[in-house]
Amino acid sequence: MSEAAHTESHDHGHHEGLPGTIGHVTPVSTLIKVILSLLVLTVITVAIAQVDLGKFNIVGAVGVACIKATIVSLWFMHLRYDKRFNFWILVGSMLLVAWMIGYILFDTALYQNNLREYKQDKAAPATP
Amino acid sequence: MSTATDNHASQTLPARPKELAMHFDNLHQQFHSGKLGMWLFLGQELLFFCGLFTAYAVYRGNHQDLFHYCHWFLDWKLGAVNTVVLLVSSLTAAWSVRCAQLEQRTGLLITLALTFICAGAFMVVKYFEYTHKLHIGATWGGSFSVATEDLPAQLLERYPDMTGEKLKTMGAGTFFAIYFCMTGLHGIHVLVGMGIYIWLFIRALKGHFNRRYYGAVDNVALYWHIVDIIWIFLFPMLYLIG
Amino acid sequence: MAGGVVEKPADPAAGGDVYRPLAVNYINKFKGIGNWLITLDHKRIGIMYLGAVTFALLLGGLFAILLRTELLFPGTAANPEVIASNDWYNKFFTLHGAVMVFLFIIPGIPASMGNFILPMQLGAKDLALPRVNLMSLWLYWIGTVFFIGVLVLGGLDTGWTLYPPYSSGRDVQLTLIFAYTAVFILGFSSILTGLNFIVTMHKLRPPGMGMYDMPLFLWALYATSLIQVLATPVIGITLGLSIVEHLFKIGIFLPEYGGDPVMYQHFFWFYSHPAVYIMVLPAMGVQSEIIATFSRKHVFGYKAIAWSSIAIAAIGFIVWGHHMFVSGQSPTAGIIFSFLTFLVAIPSAIKVFNWVATLYKGSIDLKTPMIYGLNFIYLFGVGGLTGLFLASTANNVHLHDTYFVIAHFHMVMVGSVLNAFLGGVHLWWPKMTGRMYSEFWGRIAAIFVFLGFNLAFMPQFVAGTRGMPRRYANYLDEFTIFHQLSTIGAYLLGLGVVIQVTYLIHSLFKGKQAPPNPWGASSLEWQSDSPPDHHNFTAKPIVMGPYDYENWEYVSENRGWVLKREVVETRKTLAKADH
């Protein structure tokens, strides 16, 4: 991954742009497609929320948000054309985020029972 | 280092571009170093926000009814407007990178300015949302006290016997603590972004950027997209689902 | 070229056997304090960091001496105080912990030696992002100022972890807010350093140096940096929320406003457990360099050591709950964390075995850094193995918050990190300053540190298993002997550090001129002058394996070790063939 001996030939995928441009130039058509799909997904997420799906409301909301985030990162943030390592940084930090939220949620859900029992025990002597 | 020239290299090699810092070999190396640094910073940002998302998940898990009642306080229409505004600013940010790459100076200036304006519009909407909540007393922790007549109509429609006092004893302050922390931290990021866009605009005006030296535009756009992505999650989680 | 080819027989015209240091080096290139404060030179930033963390070490050490002195005698009911009130005792251990952890151990090795040595080991002119580096230094200073503010405003008694049950239930406490702010800012200093290191290692390696050709110190710094970038923001948000919480009473962690204090511990240890590896991984990196250099032998199991660093970093993220076995975490989570914690032993042991295997049949040279290296193996062994006792939940319930825990983590964190820090300072002192320190006093001090350290903490293991709880200002008479031995040990350790500071400062003025490579080490920084040029190297260094000691030969005390002539010739020919 050393850049010291980098040559022009390593750059790939510019269909347009001036000679020697660094990086990938996103065509206007792609930009427009991306923003339109993001707006459509926003409408969808609002629509889903109007229907009461119980627990599935949050699944739907976060799911659509994940799709939107993926679209933004792949095209607006150029990850589709960028160095692979940048992509892995994003994936790695998302995994850690998921691990932290998941595990703490799991644990706090479990110790709520202990708290409830404790409160009941504490309340018990008052009403013999 | 303190001096940007490198005497040893300049004698043997062709003239170095003036944008190239002395410790890099070429502009490619410099560009991709900056970009890798920015991506690592963004990874850091995600974990920074992660704490708040965890707090949200934990309190939502333990107080589902509370989140259900309280989300009516947030006007989803204003949230949706802000979502669209931020998405558009993301488009202009991405477009500004394209303009910098193609050396379209006017286009670059316009897209940078538009990004800044959208960010400003976002903050204006945010300002009205905040002042309304502070006004009716929908605030954090123990300071939460909303008169029953100030409760959102949609909430009273569904639960006619709901009172402000009831919400307070249920711990509505916690919901608003999380709401203000999450949107507040996001808002701070938007304000920082606005500041940086002013700096970029001035640099673009001075003609600092070209097709081989536009790392600043690209990296700030990356930052801006992450701010956008975080809002993409905040909007449905806070405004839409109850 | 510096440290380059020596003419044999000595060529009088070329200066013969006398090494002439550069007239203009990074220290005297620019003059004035203002130049230092805004410098982008990684070497100067590294030196300033070294000064700052040494100051923190002495400050934290002073608190340690104070609290050990308080524990010299058991208090009686009539007269509980030895030198300080119980209230002040609480402040001593809080400040000792906080200063040592946040100002010394975490930034210690990476920010000082990492900053100075990392670009040089890559043959680069600077870190990839010099301005980010300067910003990190300034953030460190600002954080330090806030910590000094805590001291000036009357101290803090929550323990270094700042747990909500101790930090809540009172009016807004300015020192507490200051402490949160300090750690918040120091966190960002740490993130920026880590980020910079990763970018530099990816982008500034010279042609011909792959990831597997880097010295193991750099692999260790790489793993450290990953943790710094990915874990530190979590403490940032935790303390940021705590500040907001104390100022506005919002109820995220504080129970009196409806918050959850156990969640604070989850957040805190999600960072602070990986932070233990931020401390120890760079120390292991220094250790790999020292052991290989002074055994004059290619390090055993290069890839195993390299990847065990990464493994430790990764496992570090999944074990934080073992700090919370008795804090109200659910038993299920406790069991899972207990199992995961045992995993850490595997990569740690891989490292220790590889160091020992490197020593095997090496030609061991007991120079000062090597003595620290051997200290490290022993102390880390004891500390690591006692960690296994604590990882099992059944033992942990009994040993939790006793002196056993204190002794365990001091063995690991101080035993290894302090020894590696001191070893690293001695290893690179000639490169950084251009001066040799007194080898005699160096060895004496190293032995003091070793003896003092063992005397200070071995009795604490015993006291802990017999039930001596941590953080108490007084104790029962039966513990007197353990506490007194421990205090004497702390004094010895302190004496060792004072001796070092004295002779190191002395060497700056009276020390002999150091040759470019006094140890015969083979990583690239030894091909530069001592002290190095402003741009690090006056000629491009010859890229070769970091442990190819056979390429170097000893000439004289004055010239040190130089590259063998045939090595230089071969490399030149190869370079021509490449073109």
> What are C513's strand-pairing partners?
C435
**Is residue C3's pLDDT more than 70?**
no
Q: Give chain C positions within 8 Å (CB) of B47.
A: 230-231, 233-234
> Could A6 and B29 be called an inter-chain contact, meaning their C-beta atoms sit closer than 8 Å?
yes
Give me the mean pLDDT over the B76-95 stretch: 96
For the record, the structure tokens of A40 come out as 């459509």
- Determine whether the interchain pair A110/C332 forms a contact, defined as Cβ–Cβ distance below 8 Å: yes
CB A39 within 8 Å of CB C244: no
DSSP 3-state of B3: coil
Map residue C314 onto helix, strand or coil.
helix
Q: What would the pLDDT profile of C532-573 be if each residue is shown by its tens digit? A: 999 999 988 999 889 999 999 999 888 999 999 988 888 888
Q: What is the radius of gyration, based on Cα positions, of chain B?
A: 23
Rounded (10°) CA dihedral B32, B36, B39, B45 = -140
* Cβ-based burial of C72 (10 A; exposed 0-12, middle 13-18, buried ≥19): middle
All residues at 6 or more sequence positions from B94 whose CB lies less than 8 Å from its CB, including other chains: A26, A31, A34, A75, A76, B221, B225
Least confident span in B1-10, B126-135, C39-48, C110-119:
B1-10
Exposed, middle or buried, A112 (CB in 10 Å: 0-12/13-18/19+)? Answer: middle
Residue C13 pLDDT greater than 50, yes or no? no
Structure confidence at residue A26 (pLDDT) = 93
Q: Nearest Cα to C540, choosing from C511, C571, C515, C570?
A: C571
Tokens of C268: 């805190």
A104 touches chain C (CB under 8 A): yes
Residues of B in contact with A10 (CB under 8 A): 28
Angstroms from C507 CA to nearest CA on chain A? 39
Which residues touch B238 (CB under 8 Å, ≥6 apart)? Answer: B71, B74, B79, B179, B182, B183
Give mean pLDDT, residues C237-251.
90
CATH of C39-578, one of 1.20.210.10, 3.40.50.2300, 2.40.50.100, 1.20.58.340: 1.20.210.10
Distance, in angstroms, between C213 CA and closest chain B CA?
A: 20
pLDDT at A87: 96
Asked if residue B112 belongs to a domain, the reply is yes
Instruction: Look at the block and give the residue holding tokens 């430790």.
Output: C312
Is the pLDDT at C225 greater than 60? The verdict is: yes
Residue A113 has a pLDDT of 81
Percent of chain B with pLDDT over 90: 82
The minimum CA-CA distance between A29 and chain C, rounded to whole Å, is 33
Q: What percent of chain C has pLDDT over 70?
A: 96
Q: Tell me if C305 sits within 8 A of C216, measured CB to CB.
A: yes
pLDDT at C116 over 90: yes
Q: Read off the amino acid at residue B183.
A: T
Closest Cα in chain B, distance from residue A41 (Å): 10
Please confirm whether the linkage preceding C9 is cis (ω < 30° from 0): yes
CB atoms C249 and B44 under 8 Å: no
| Chain C interface includes A86 (CB < 8 A) | no
| Token code pair at residue B162 | 């709901």
Q: Which of C149, B156, C266, C122 is nearest to B164 (CA)?
A: B156
Q: What is the pLDDT along chain A (128 residues), one digit of tens a residue?
A: 444 444 443 444 445 778 889 999 999 999 999 999 999 999 999 998 888 887 788 899 999 999 999 999 999 999 999 999 999 999 999 999 999 999 999 998 888 888 788 778 877 765 54
Q: Which residue has 């479990």 as its token pair?
A: A110
The 10s digit of each residue's pLDDT in C456-513 is 999 999 999 999 999 998 899 999 999 999 999 999 999 999 999 999 999 999 999 9
**Quick one: average pLDDT of B46-58?**
96
Single out the residue of C242, C210, C319 nearest to residue C543, CA to CA: C210
Q: How far is CA C38 from CA C32, C103, C337, C424, C531, in A?
A: 11, 21, 45, 26, 20
- Of C17-21, C400-404, C495-499, the least confident: C17-21
Least confident range of C44-53, C85-94, C162-171, C192-201: C162-171
Question: CB-based contact (8 Å) between C510 and chain A?
Answer: no
User: Do residues C554 and C560 lie in contact, with contact meaning Cβ atoms separated by under 8 Å?
Assistant: yes
pLDDT value at position B2?
37
Q: Which of B46, B225, B232 sits opposite A77 (nearest CB)?
A: B225
CA C409 to chain centre: 14
Q: Are C467 and C402 in contact (CB under 8 A)?
A: yes
Residue C301 DSSP class: T
Q: Give the gap in angstroms from C-alpha B99 to the nearest C-alpha of chain C.
A: 26
pLDDT at residue C2, rounded to an integer: 44
DSSP element (H, E) containing C562: strand C560-563
Query: Chains A, C: CB contacts under 8 A, how many?
Result: 53
**Looking at CA atoms only, how far is residue B145 from chain A in angstroms?**
27
- Is residue C187 over pLDDT 50? yes
CATH number, domain containing residue B211: 1.20.120.80
d(CA C353, CA A46): 59
Host H or E run for residue B61? helix B27-62
Angle at alpha carbon of residue B111, lines to B118 and A78, rounded to 5°: 95
A contact residues 10-49, partner C, Cβ 8 Å cutoff: none
Mean predicted lDDT score pLDDT of chain C: 91
Q: Closest residue of B to A27, CA-based?
A: B98
- For residue B103, being part of any structural domain is answered with yes
Predicted confidence (pLDDT) per residue in C505-531, tens digit = 999 999 999 999 999 999 999 999 999
Give the residue from C203, C228, C241, C317 with the most B CB atoms within 10 Å of its CB, the best one to mutate. Answer: C203
Nearest Cα neighbor of B180 from B141, B142, B148 is B141
Query: Which amino acid would we find at residue A17?
Result: G
Confidence of residue C574 (pLDDT cuts 50, 70, 90): confident
- pLDDT, one tens digit per residue, over B204-216 is 999 999 999 999 9
At C560, give phi and psi (nearest 5°).
70, -145
Dihedral sign, Cα of residue C535, residue C540, residue C542, residue C543: positive
Given CB atoms, is A107 within the 8 Å cutoff of chain C? yes
Which of B137-141, C99-103, C191-195, C482-486 is the least confident region?
Answer: B137-141
Residue C579 pLDDT grade (very low, low, confident, very high; cuts 50, 70, 90): low
Segment of A12-26, C137-151, C167-181 carrying the highest mean pLDDT: C137-151
Q: Domain residues of chain C, as ranges?
A: 39-578
Q: Which domain holds residue B235?
A: 50-240
C109: nearest Cα among C458, C500, C420: C420
**Rg of chain C (C-alpha set):** 24
Q: What is the pTM of this model?
A: 0.93
B92 has a pLDDT exceeding 80:
yes
Q: What is the domain count for chain B?
A: 1
| Contacting residues of B for A100, CB less than 8 Å apart | 47, 50, 54
Residue type, C441: W
Of C60, C85, C87, C66, give the one whose Cα is nearest residue C75: C85
Q: Which of C230, C307, C236, C238 is nearest to C267 (CA)?
A: C238
Give the mean model confidence (pLDDT) for residues C217-238. Answer: 96
- Residues of chain C with pLDDT > 90: what percent? 78
Confidence of residue C14 (pLDDT cuts 50, 70, 90): very low
**pLDDT number for residue B53:** 96
Question: What Å distances lie between residue B5 and B2, C9, C40, C540, CA to CA?
Answer: 9, 39, 13, 17
Q: Does A74 reach chain B within 8 Å, measured CB to CB?
A: no
* Helices of type H across C110-260: 115-121, 130-152, 164-167, 174-203, 216-248
